[in-house]
Chains A and B, each alone.
Chain A
Amino acid sequence: MERVISMANITTDEKIAIINRYHANPEQALNILIDLQFTSSDGYIDQATAQLVAAHLGVTETRIYEMVSFYAILKEAPQARYVMKICNSAPCHFSGEQIVSHELEEILDIQEGQMTHDGLFMYHSIPCVGACAQAPFIKIKDRVFANLTADDVAQLISDLRAGRYPEL
């Protein structure tokens, strides 16, 4: 299922308010983009938003796009309701990270970077997030679900489905 391609849930005024929170300072472009992305439930920066940011910061759209496409945290495409981050760097990779990715692939029937049909889930393999001592783990937003077993993963998914973590 295709979702609407836009950061529909925040209005232009809200976006401008975020930009102004940083005094439309071009130096704070990254902070602004991250804030915009996290405020939108779609979890990405679309072109219209990039243009808006560029115009307010007095830089070209190209500068903004270069950042959006460079920094791994910034996304160019809509994200799922729950984006699960799995670390695939060596310390985690050799501490059982595969248990998690394998389990997610099984339960959700999606590959890395894909979204489930209901738009609820997606997982990314990313480099170290500084939780190496808790591997295997899943990180959703700032929350780390640590030292997971396969059963823990299954439980987490059903909990998320059931809406047990509304803050995430």
Chain B
Amino acid sequence: MTATETAIATVTLTIDGQSVTVPKGTTLLKAAAKANIEIPTLCYLKELAPDGSCRMCMVEVEGGRKGGLVTACTEHAKDGMVIHTQNEKIRNSRRFVLDLLLSNHKLDCFKCPSNGDCKLQDYSLEYGLLETSLHGRRQPANQQDVTNPFFDYDPEKCIMCRRCSRVCQLRQGRDIISISHRGFDTKMLPCYGEDWDESMCESCGNCVSVCPTGALSSKDQRHFRTWETTKVRTTCPHCGTGCQVDLLVKNNTIVGAEPANGAANRNLLCVKGKFASYKFVASGDRLDTPLIKRNGQFEKATWDEALSLIASRFGALKATYGGSSLAGFSCSRSTNEDNYVFQKMMRTAFGTNHVDNCARVCHSATVHGLAQTLGSGAMTNTIADITQDVDTILLIGSNTTEAHPVIGSQIRQAVQNGTKLVVIDPRKIDLARHAELHVQAKAGTNVALINGLMHIIIENGWADDAFIAKRTEGFEEMKALVADYTPEKVAKICEIDPADLIKAAELYAKADKAPIIYCLGVTEHSTGTEGVMSMSNLAMLVGKLGRPGCGVNPLRGQNNVQGACDMGCSPFDFPGYQKINQPGVVEKFERAWATDLNPNVGLTSTQVLPAAIKGDIKGLYIFGEDPIVTDPDISHVRKALENLDFLVVQELFMTETAEYADVVLPGISFAEKDGTFTNTERRIQRVRQAVQPRGGAREDYRIFCEVATRMGYPMAYPSASQIMDEIASVVPTFAGVNFKRLEAIEGLQWPCRSQDDPGTPIMHVGEFSRGKGLFMAIPYKPAKELPDDAYPYLLSTGRMLYHYNTRAMTKRTAGINQLAPHSYIEMNTQNANEMGIKDGDKVRVYSRRGTIETYAAVGDQVLPDAVFMTFHFPDGNVNEITNSVCDDIAIIPEYKVCAVAIEPVK
């Protein structure tokens, strides 16, 4: 049935005396909800098809067959039906169901962690069952499984509603916990009854979130009762997915997190969001007072002392060497409001455009590449749009299930629903197992590969000529260039089978709806920007832009890296990507901010550090970044920081970078502030204060205002909301954004140009932001450092599920460290055997830049002669050895390719 047909065909029925009209095919449960009549349910989950198993939602259909009782969750409304939801017959049947459940349920509510947060308990009270009247066989006692670090499972409290298993299978796409046996012996269990910690469970906790009783309960639940807590809706502080989450707060401490029905996550969370998004907030080692380094030692200081020192030292440097001797790195984990005020402080009070954020080391290539070809450097479509109802997903260089786990789950759902997945990745990532086709191309060969795909598409006549003619320019040059990229040639470069290349081209080009989803595997190269432009080339070639289920979709890494870029924490752009070197822009901001501004384009963070070594940069203000851990070739970073005259670090914790600071300022976390984050799909969503900051930590933008004011540029905002109002006044694509509108859980997607603009889910509809889409002819260039005899292995870096970046947040949750305690290097079994290395052995890894020690993870995740490490761990910090060569356009480092050697540690 098409959408319009459903909309027209309606039925009218009577529910408890009320007349209700609903579309044909509506269930009685939904029809009743429309009449504000609540029907009790235990197994129902609104995201999934009804299960009809608990039989709690019985209602009576007048004149129905065999007693007229039907389950409201499954029965469709029909014209003229007369429904009763609350008569004695129905109440009796619900009592019977409850009595049966209680007769096989541990009745130990007092001790149960879910006491007060249990549907079985609630309904039993409502229906007057204080105990069971049925005394017969029960399931065996004492079967608890407490082996998962985050939650416990007690089958004796399971009511077999199957919500956990359905969520695990159908929404999380993991299929760990499931129904075993049958009849009375039916039991929810991981396979063969193994313990949780032996199963493949990745601890996302979505089963815990949906369990209506205490069968699955979080370990933290022992420390509170739901009725003692308040819920604060906010945005998860981890990756760029932007999941909406409810923090549970008891006595100014966050004790738990529940998924909320956000547009990006629809009631799902990953292990970080569910279990690791709050412990760090109350961690005992939070900075709670300013520190000033005296004689190499940090000493506690008052705010006044610290701020005065900062203002006078930066002021002096500016007076002596000019504003261009100062630089600032902003925090892409903090709010839009903090980022806006930070860059405003740098540009006004400091007089410098050397302001950047960590997008430089992840997605600056995206920002530059797509801005040039399409006119706007952000995800073109929404997460829901590219994972629901699409024919093919072309996934390139994105280990989605680990880096953006909730998007990864949605891709797995898409595959379950029939979408064909094409994975292009040098590693056998988890999604490769779900893929129709995995093209295991060698790292660093994306441009050649995409040129090859385009060659095949053009040769076979699969290109969208009308789209190309009407909406693009530069096609002929591109076509001429790719003519040379035959499948055979490309297959040789990428070390793949040419037939796979052809199949990939066909799967993508011939699909009606097919998004490209990519991530750092495309950007973190010396040819990153060119790789990104190749993405837009490919999508334009087949006309898959500006319409639903298509687009070019970079997955942004940090929770607010999109926002930090949007807010102008970039050496090239004022807020809203208004270019410094574009006529009139500097003047506009001089007017808006009522001060003279530095008219010169600034240095990127990757350029600031070498400049510091040279002595050109003298003072640096680092807000919430830890470049010692995150930037490539760390010894260079150390040298740069040591060489500075004055370094300020504003942080939550004493990081490795903070150790180098002259002054350390205690900022506050996402849970202690109001503001907004912008997720990877350009969705601006609220961040809300859940707890009061402890000690002397201060709200970050207020600190910037103080610093700026002391440096002679007075700044003050009463609240984050007013900052957003100012942003709306200077950024046309934010003109319609304000906190009142952002109260809605779906937030707003920019561009949102006026109060009645609903926001923009899909960009480039009808016309590109830059007018015509620009094809770029891009020749393939090999990575800068390739394996040789001395360094025979090609190293790539990336993320893992459990940790988030430098682990500053995640390592403060004990369970996470239990699951992922140390660094490791993935290597192919063949190489490991050659070197006599076994899984788990300690190995030494060295490159031209340094040496680290780590543990071998042997298997077939990587191909022979390729190796892989995550960048989260200080023991075996891979960035000691990565290559700091950069892409010439976005100046993004080539994290994805360098040459290393490996030896076993005896």
Residues of A at under 8 Å CB distance from B? 47, 50, 60-63, 65-66, 69-70, 76
Given A50-B192, A65-B191, A76-B192: A60 and B175 interface contact (C-beta under 8 Å): yes
Kindly state whether residue B486 has any CB partner on chain A within 8 Å: no
- Min CB distance A30 to B, Å, is 15
Asked if A62 and B182 make an inter-chain contact with CB atoms under 8 angstroms apart, the answer reads no
Kindly state whether residue B181 has any CB partner on chain A within 8 Å: yes
Number of chain B residues whose Cβ lies closer than 8 Å to a Cβ of chain A: 14
Interface string of B196-211 (1 = CB under 8 A from A): 0000100000000000
Listed from nearest, the 4 A-B pairs whose CB atoms lie closest are A60-B175, A69-B180, A65-B191, A62-B175
Residues of B at under 8 Å CB distance from A? 169, 174-182, 190-192, 200
Q: Which residues of B contact A66 (CB under 8 A)?
A: 178-180
Given A70-B181, A70-B182: A65 and B192 interface contact (C-beta under 8 Å): yes
Asked if A62 and B181 make an inter-chain contact with CB atoms under 8 angstroms apart, the answer reads no
6 other A-B residue contacts (CB within 8 Å) besides A65-B192, A69-B182: A60-B169, A62-B169, A62-B177, A62-B190, A65-B178, A66-B180
Q: Which residues of A contact B178 (CB under 8 A)?
A: 62-63, 65-66
Asked if A50 and B191 make an inter-chain contact with CB atoms under 8 angstroms apart, the answer reads yes
Q: Which residues of B contact A61 (CB under 8 A)?
A: 191, 200
- Min CB distance A74 to B, Å, is 11
Q: Which residues of A contact B200 (CB under 8 A)?
A: 61
Q: Which residues of A contact B191 (CB under 8 A)?
A: 47, 50, 61-62, 65
Q: Which residues of B contact A62 (CB under 8 A)?
A: 169, 175-178, 190-191
Interface centre among B175, B177, B179, B191 (most CB of A within 10 A): B191
Closest A residue, CB atoms, query B173? A60
- Min CB distance A9 to B, Å, is 20
- Min CB distance B758 to A, Å, is 40
Docked complex Cα distance between A61 and B191 (Å): 7
- Min CB distance B315 to A, Å, is 63
Q: Which residues of B contact A65 (CB under 8 A)?
A: 178, 180, 191-192
- Please name 26 pairs of A and B residues whose Cβ atoms are closer than 8 Å in the assembled complex, sorted by A: A47-B191, A47-B192, A50-B191, A50-B192, A60-B169, A60-B174, A60-B175, A61-B191, A61-B200, A62-B169, A62-B175, A62-B176, A62-B178, A62-B190, A62-B191, A63-B178, A65-B178, A65-B180, A65-B191, A65-B192, A66-B178, A69-B180, A69-B181, A69-B182, A70-B180, A70-B182
Docked complex Cα distance between A66 and B178 (Å): 7
Docked complex Cα distance between A61 and B177 (Å): 11
Q: Which residues of A contact B174 (CB under 8 A)?
A: 60
Q: Which residues of A contact B190 (CB under 8 A)?
A: 62
Docked complex Cα distance between A47 and B192 (Å): 7
Q: Which residues of A contact B192 (CB under 8 A)?
A: 47, 50, 65, 76
Closest B residue, CB atoms, query A70? B182
Docked complex Cα distance between A47 and B181 (Å): 15
Docked complex Cα distance between A143 and B181 (Å): 27
Docked complex Cα distance between A84 and B178 (Å): 31
Closest A residue, CB atoms, query B176? A62
Interface centre among A50, A61, A63, A69 (most CB of B within 10 A): A69
Closest B residue, CB atoms, query A69? B180
Q: Which residues of A contact B182 (CB under 8 A)?
A: 69-70
Q: Which residues of B contact A69 (CB under 8 A)?
A: 180-182
Docked complex Cα distance between A46 and B181 (Å): 15
Docked complex Cα distance between A62 and B182 (Å): 15
Closest B residue, CB atoms, query A72? B182
Docked complex Cα distance between A115 and B124 (Å): 44
- Min CB distance B168 to A, Å, is 8
- Min CB distance B178 to A, Å, is 5
Closest B residue, CB atoms, query A51? B191
Given A47-B191, A76-B192: A63 and B180 interface contact (C-beta under 8 Å): no
Docked complex Cα distance between A137 and B566 (Å): 80
Docked complex Cα distance between A60 and B182 (Å): 19
Q: Which residues of B contact A60 (CB under 8 A)?
A: 169, 174-175
Docked complex Cα distance between A67 and B190 (Å): 13
- Min CB distance A164 to B, Å, is 36
Docked complex Cα distance between A75 and B175 (Å): 22
Q: Which residues of B contact A76 (CB under 8 A)?
A: 192
Docked complex Cα distance between A63 and B174 (Å): 11
Docked complex Cα distance between A12 and B535 (Å): 44
- Min CB distance A119 to B, Å, is 22
Q: Which residues of A contact B176 (CB under 8 A)?
A: 62
- Min CB distance A50 to B, Å, is 7
Closest B residue, CB atoms, query A54? B191
- Min CB distance A62 to B, Å, is 5
- Min CB distance B218 to A, Å, is 22
